[in-house]
Amino acid sequence: MIDRLIESIKKTGAPIVVGLDPTLKLIPPQITEKYYKEMGKTPEAVAEAIVEYNKGLTDAICDVVPAVKPQIAMYEAFGIPGLIAFDRTVKYCKEKGLIVIGDVKRGDIGSTSEAYAQAHLGHVTIGDQRFAAFDEDFATVNPYLGSDGVKPFLKVCNEDKKGIFVLVKTSNPSSGEFQDREIDGIPLYRLVGEKVAEWGEEAMGENGYSRVGAVVGATYPEQGKVLRRVMPKSFILVPGYGAQGGKGADLVHFFNKDGLGAIINSSRGIIGAYQQERYASYGPEGYAAAARDAVLDMKEDIRSSL
Amino acid sequence: MIDRLIESIKKTGAPIVVGLDPTLKLIPPQITEKYYKEMGKTPEAVAEAIVEYNKGLTDAICDVVPAVKPQIAMYEAFGIPGLIAFDRTVKYCKEKGLIVIGDVKRGDIGSTSEAYAQAHLGHVTIGDQRFAAFDEDFATVNPYLGSDGVKPFLKVCNEDKKGIFVLVKTSNPSSGEFQDREIDGIPLYRLVGEKVAEWGEEAMGENGYSRVGAVVGATYPEQGKVLRRVMPKSFILVPGYGAQGGKGADLVHFFNKDGLGAIINSSRGIIGAYQQERYASYGPEGYAAAARDAVLDMKEDIRSSL
């Protein structure tokens, strides 16, 4: 999958992943109203609205970006109907040829991480039949429990040719509270980065990159520079561009000299573009076209910065 | 909810939480076979088997323990049918008067943690109606992202009178890889423990304990002793007893002098008791009675150690 990601980035020329993180504030009112009328103001109606919204976005961007990243929390908040919408979103995006990064940030003790890995990347076996549950292409993983919380994911990555992105230095303001603390002069995020590199050696793809990537926020370009060196064979998934304050110029050090090695996420900045002054002329009806336009602008911003 | 937990521990005399972590190896064959015959070897059949298994366990233990802790990964592995089984399990256990700790280990940047908090402890608002998704009483939370990943949970805890248990020192063998690393001579788990105490000040219950508890593994009694002092007002959820190797004698330092402050989890050791030599006479048909017996033995083991 890491190899497919690389091919797809080369083909589109866009090291971009669009975060499909629907909230009621972002979904255009004509979509929610339609389902409210039909089904009442219920989680089921919201779930249908989310799927329609996501399909519109996916259709508009699927030829210009390699990947999408649905944030499962936004779906989980609406319970079972929300998770059905997540599942339908993953399947629809894959049908459209997009690579799907499940932003699930799971991580637990070994036997439990194995179940999460099965849920999101692999499969369960019932009798002699295999069933894949959510079947994303990549998942994000929390490293706080150490190697035996991560290794079950590696096993599934190797067996099912999937990948993970391990949280290393997150984009949020308080990420430094624990991640920046120094251990013998070395910040925790760097120790985690070193582990990412080590875990990656056990899960190499064909094109020189491993199946173990890392999450490093665009909001911390200096740390990105260090981590780029620490994990040369890991792709970096970079959130925090756009709505969280990261800019194109901040991104340069996240890439390797081959022009690869990073994929930049934007969520609200793309899927809610129609609400921004710059794309306001599209209006809510044109939310998908606005998103496409915002992707192309982001692509240009990144290109001109590199 | 922390106050209800304390009352219920006092009433049952059992500071015990039973982990409802169903796997195909644990569910007695007469249950799975019944649903396989009816529905084929499918995730839907497994989900029905999980619910029946859990109901049997719940009926057998609900008058002798205060709480259960379903591990959502075991359900998530079976996709949407599995998550429906999780939802039905939570609801059934609450009907039976049990407190439900959702072992979900969620945690993300602020706006996303807010969605997780809504999903598991709070509610979403659609129009002017409130809908609770999974509605557990407590949830486990991963602290790697720092305060702004945890505070949205505190808000919901205070509004909806719920609680969280933050991962501090986990029970798994490699938990020390990051959690034991020393920062200015102080291990990371202790720094996280200090934060738990600080967060707890913002979310106090009525009985002297806060709504912010901590997870500390029974497999690390020395660290438990330190953390007990660092977080005097936090309940400690203690996994790792039984199948993972923790013993009654290891537990003494997790409790405060008031005899409260800790709740010990056992999963396989209880729900799979019928597979152990000690309880083998019950057979698979008597799995629930075996579980009850194992709970009573565990209660005695803890009582005699304190």
- Predicted confidence at residue A41, as pLDDT, reads 98
Q: Among B80, B171, B178, select the one facing A80 at the smallest CB separation.
A: B80
Say if the Cβ atoms of B115 and A73 lie within 8 Å.
yes
**Looking at the predicted structure, is the pLDDT value of residue A12 above 80?**
yes
Q: Which residue ranges make up each domain of chain B?
A: 2-23+64-77+101-305
Residue to mutate among B108, B113, B186, with most A CBs inside 10 A, is: B108
> Which residues, in sequence order, are CB contacts of B40 under 8 Å at separation 6+?
none
- Predicted confidence at residue A191, as pLDDT, reads 97
Instruction: Specify the 3-state DSSP secondary structure of A248.
Output: helix
B105 is catalytic: yes
Q: Among B172, B184, B192, select the one facing A178 at the smallest CB separation.
A: B192
- Predicted confidence at residue A230, as pLDDT, reads 98
Chain B partners of A181 at a C-beta cutoff of 8 Å?
Answer: 183, 188, 191
- Predicted confidence at residue B222, as pLDDT, reads 95
CA distance B155 to B168: 20
> How far does the CA of residue A38 sit from the closest CA of chain B (Å)?
15
A209-218 tens-digit pLDDT = 999 999 999 9
Chain B partners of A109 at a C-beta cutoff of 8 Å?
Answer: 170-172, 239
> How far does the CA of residue B65 sit from the closest CA of chain A (Å)?
24
Instruction: Specify the 3-state DSSP secondary structure of A126.
Output: strand
The alpha helices in chain B, defined as continuous H runs, are: 2-12, 29-39, 43-61, 72-76, 79-95, 110-120, 147-160, 176-179, 188-201, 221-230, 268-271, 287-305
Q: What is the share, in percent, of chain A residues with pLDDT greater than 70?
A: 99
**Looking at the predicted structure, is the pLDDT value of residue A102 above 90?**
yes
pLDDT in tens, chain B (306 residues): 899 999 999 999 999 999 999 999 999 999 999 999 999 999 999 999 999 999 999 999 999 999 999 999 999 999 999 999 999 999 999 999 999 999 999 999 999 999 999 999 999 999 999 999 999 999 999 999 999 999 999 999 999 999 999 999 999 999 999 999 999 999 999 999 999 999 999 999 998 999 999 999 999 999 999 999 999 999 999 998 976 777 788 899 999 999 999 999 999 999 999 999 999 999 999 999 999 999 999 999 999 988
Say if the Cβ atoms of B127 and A41 lie within 8 Å.
yes
Cα three-residue angle B239-B245-B249, rounded to 5 degrees = 85
- Predicted confidence at residue B5, as pLDDT, reads 97
Q: Which residue of B has its CA nearest to A184?
A: B183
A57-83 tens-digit pLDDT = 999 999 999 999 999 999 999 999 999
Please choose, from the candidates B119, B57, B121, B48, the residue with its C-alpha nearest in 3D space to the C-alpha of residue B88.
B48
Chain A partners of B149 at a C-beta cutoff of 8 Å?
Answer: 170, 172, 174
What count of other Cβ atoms lies within 10 Å of the Cβ of residue A63? 12
CA distance B291 to B54: 11
A37 burial type by CB count under 10 A (0-12 exposed, 13-18 middle, 19+ buried): exposed
> How far does the CA of residue A40 sit from the closest CA of chain B (Å)?
10
Q: In chain A, at which residue ranges do the beta strands (DSSP E only) sit?
A: 16-18, 67-68, 99-106, 124-126, 129-131, 138-141, 163-169, 182-183, 186-187, 212-216, 236-238, 262-266
Q: Which residue of A has its CA nearest to B268?
A: A111
- Predicted confidence at residue B249, as pLDDT, reads 82
B251 burial type by CB count under 10 A (0-12 exposed, 13-18 middle, 19+ buried): buried
Chain B partners of A154 at a C-beta cutoff of 8 Å?
Answer: none
| Helix, strand, coil percent content, chain A, rounded in steps of 5 | 55, 15, 30
What count of other Cβ atoms lies within 10 Å of the Cβ of residue A1? 19
> Which residues, in sequence order, are CB contacts of B111 under 8 Å at separation 6+?
B152
DSSP code for A138: E
CA distance B292 to B298: 10
Residue to mutate among A125, A126, A238, with most B CBs inside 10 A, is: A126
The CATH architecture that domain A2-305 belongs to is Alpha-Beta Barrel (3.20)
Q: Are B75 and B85 in contact (CB under 8 A)?
A: yes
Q: Which residue of A has its CA nearest to B88?
A: A80
Chain A partners of B176 at a C-beta cutoff of 8 Å?
Answer: 146
**Looking at the predicted structure, is the pLDDT value of residue A245 above 80?**
no
Q: pLDDT averaged over chain A?
A: 96
Q: What is B146-172 written as a DSSP string?
A: -HHHHHHHHHHHHHHT-EEEEEEE-SS
Chain A partners of B42 at a C-beta cutoff of 8 Å?
Answer: 126, 131
Q: What is A1-30 written as a DSSP string?
A: -HHHHHHHHHHHT--EEE-----TTTS-HH
Token pair, residue A304, equals 């001109």
The residue annotated as part of the active site, out of B94, B105, B151, B155, is B105
CA distance B193 to B214: 8
The residue annotated as part of the active site, out of A34, A94, A96, A105, is A105
> Which residues, in sequence order, are CB contacts of B144 under 8 Å at separation 6+?
A142, A143, A144, A167, A170, A178, A179, B107
What count of other Cβ atoms lies within 10 Å of the Cβ of residue B212? 30
> How far does the CA of residue B112 sit from the closest CA of chain A (Å)?
6
Topology of domain B2-23+64-77+101-305, CATH: TIM Barrel (3.20.20)
Q: Establish, for the pair of chains A and B, how many residue pairs have beta carbons separated by less than 8 Å.
A: 211
Chain B partners of A173 at a C-beta cutoff of 8 Å?
Answer: 148
Phi, psi of A254 (to 5 degrees): -80, -15
Q: Is A153 left (phi over 0), alpha (psi -120 to 50) or beta?
A: alpha
Q: Among B87, B170, B181, select the one facing A145 at the smallest CB separation.
A: B170
Query: Is the model's pTM score more than 0.95?
Result: yes
Q: Are B113 and B152 in contact (CB under 8 A)?
A: yes
> Which residues, in sequence order, are CB contacts of A257 under 8 Å at separation 6+?
none
| Helix, strand, coil percent content, chain B, rounded in steps of 5 | 55, 20, 30
Residue to mutate among A142, A168, A241, with most B CBs inside 10 A, is: A142
